[in-house]
Structure 1
Amino acid sequence: MANKKNPLIDTFFKNSGTKTKGKKTKKTSLYVLLIFIAIQLSPVLFINSTYDYFIGQGMEPDTAQAATSGWLIFLAMGIGFAIALIVVFRDKKFFDIWKGKKLGIGWAILWGFFGFLLLIIGQSLAALIELAIGIDPGSENTSNLVSIAEVVPAAIFAVVLFGPVMEELVFRRVIFGSMIQTTNFWIATAVSALVFAAVHLEFTHLLLYFTTGLILAFLYQKTKRILTPIIAHILLNGYVMLIQLNMDKINRFIERMEQLEQIQFITQIFFR
């Protein structure tokens, strides 16, 4: 008896690679999506038991809640990350979606660092535009992750390493990489950015996510290597986490510099 095809899945993944349109690559894309969905949903199954455990250890409710979120995020993303890499590297054709020659590894890495600078500039401009149209700056999602990382430092690995790699595999390779075969760069970028914002539950900052997705998609198309947007994404998340975790120290440093400037100003008045 012939196997029935799912028309929705077949349509979405029919062009998941230009050099291969085999069933293995289609299945790999689907598996990566399923793994990513499992990462998002699986912690829900263990929230109550994990929270009760930390409460039983004498933690305050707020601290226990942060510890629960931190460890579940770390474990879910870490396990999902490992499984996804095994699935992806078993399919040697998974990343063969571009025509033409890929950029060399060295140049791809350099473009990753350059892409990080582009992300900083792009997000800064997007934030200014959002502020001009009345959207409050700052991300609630980022703020929550920083609070969690202060209680569970291991969660930093999930935010800086596991998360960026998984998101690039899903949003750049599977969604953007599949759609660009049948649409154009802008449509593929818009759809991947919209889904990216939906996953983070922050439609208010859609412009920020679109700008980020636009730059990462450009890096992927430019180098034809997923390594480049992964590097840029890791550096961005690492930079944001580093700044946020040390915000108190940064503010104290700024206050001291302002005090020094005031002292210098007063000194110049009396001793000029």
Structure 2
Amino acid sequence: MKINFKAKADTGRYGKSKVSLSAKRGTKKTPLYILLLFIAVQLSPVLFITPTMEYFMGQGMTRAEAKLSTSGWLIAASMGIGFIAAIILILRDKRFFDIWKGKKAGPFAAVGWGLLGFLLLLVGQSLAAMIEIAIGIEPGSENTMGLVRIAEAVPLTILAVVLFGPVLEELVFRRVVFGSLNQTTNFWIATLISALVFGLVHMEFTHLLLYFTTGLILAFLYQRTKRIITPIIAHILLNGYVMLIQLNMEKIQNFLKQMENLQ
């Protein structure tokens, strides 16, 4: 009986060790998979530009119309697939977000900080824009205006910009880049590097300060609550707000003119 009991105990101990090592390997690999997935989402549409353009032009669209439609559908498709794939990867690795010491913020606090974070982003971007104007950089983002024109042609793009994009970017820049660096360096180094990378990836170097400021605030929100949902909420609200304003800019301008005439 003693021999059998010991053998069973040893088997259980070894089994537990294997599960633990497997979980650790999964946790280490998942950030890499998320990063590679994000790169694939950014680059894969290039492979389908020509056939998609030809299809839309074959439907009677002009080259300019086909270009907008192609961009819209490829952005929506690649980000949608990337979003689903990222969720699957995360669900398979239950320890993916276990990178913090100390207690995480409660659900209500996490959401509350997400809402507050949206306001912080508006203030931070306004200050960054003022600095840019002061040093001679013209306001307005070509990247944002391009997405607005695409969204007008393919409304499904709005879902990609407002939901899929923010979730993927927060998983990459806050959890993978910032989270990984924060474990090996410190908060300030991790924040500065992740915010800089976040700005550079958007490929709009004249407005690097604007994106850098956004990255700083989002990293702070993640550190503050230790929950990725917080910067995701703030990021979604920011993108949604920008798209709402830009898509209705003409109506807003007409309304302001009417108010001026009334005065």
* Map of 1:197 onto structure 2: 199
Aligned counterpart, 1:256? 258
Amino acid at match of 1:55: M
Counterpart among 42, 46, 50 of residue 40 in structure 1: 42
TM-score, normalising length: structure 1: 0.87
Corresponding residue for residue 135 of structure 2: 133
Query: Which residue of structure 1 lines up, in the alignment, with residue 9 of structure 2?
Result: none
SS of match in other structure, 2:104: coil
Pairing of 1:84-99 with structure 2 (within 5 A): 84-99=86-101
- CA shift, 1:111, in A, is 0.7
Q: 2:211 aligns with which of 192, 209, 212?
A: 209
Q: Matches of 1:21 and 1:200 in 2, distance apart?
A: 33
Structure 2: distance between partners of 1:169 and 1:201: 19
Instruction: Report the alpha carbon displacement of residue 188 of structure 1 after superposing the two structures with TM.
Output: 1.2
CA distance in 2 between partners of 1:59 and 1:97 (Å)? 50
- Contact 1:168–1:229, Cα closer than 8 Å, also in 2: yes
For residues 208 and 75 of structure 2, what CA distance do their matches in structure 1 show?
24
Q: 1:219 to 1:44 in 2, by over 3 A?
A: same
* Residues 142-171 of structure 1: CA deviation (Å, up to 9, x unaligned): 010000000000000000000000000000
Aligned-partner residue type, residue 144 of structure 2: T
Unaligned runs of 5+ in 2: 1-21
Paired letter, 2:185:
T
Structure 2 matches for 1:1-272, cutoff 5 A? 22-261=24-263
Percent sequence identity is: 71
Determine the C-alpha separation between the residues in 2 that align with 1:58 and 1:66: 14
Query: Bigger shift: 30-39 or 202-211?
Result: 202-211
Mind listing any 5+ residue stretches in structure 1 that lack a counterpart? 1-19, 262-272
Residue aligned with 2:184, SS: coil
The residue number in structure 2 matching 1:266 is: none
1:270 maps to none
Verify the 8 A CA contact 2:196 2:215 in the aligned structure 1: no
Contact kept? 1:192, 1:213, Cα under 8 Å = yes
Q: CA deviation at 1:21?
A: 8.5
Query: Which residue pairs with 2:19 in the alignment?
Result: none
Q: Is the contact between residue 222 and residue 230 of structure 2 (CA under 8 Å) also seen in structure 1?
A: yes
Q: CA deviation at 1:186?
A: 2.2
2:162 & 2:136 partners in 1: Cα distance?
30
User: How big is the shift at 1:74?
Assistant: 0.2
**TM-score (normalizing by structure 2):** 0.90
Other structure's SS at 1:69 match: helix
Report the residue type matching 1:186 in the other structure: W
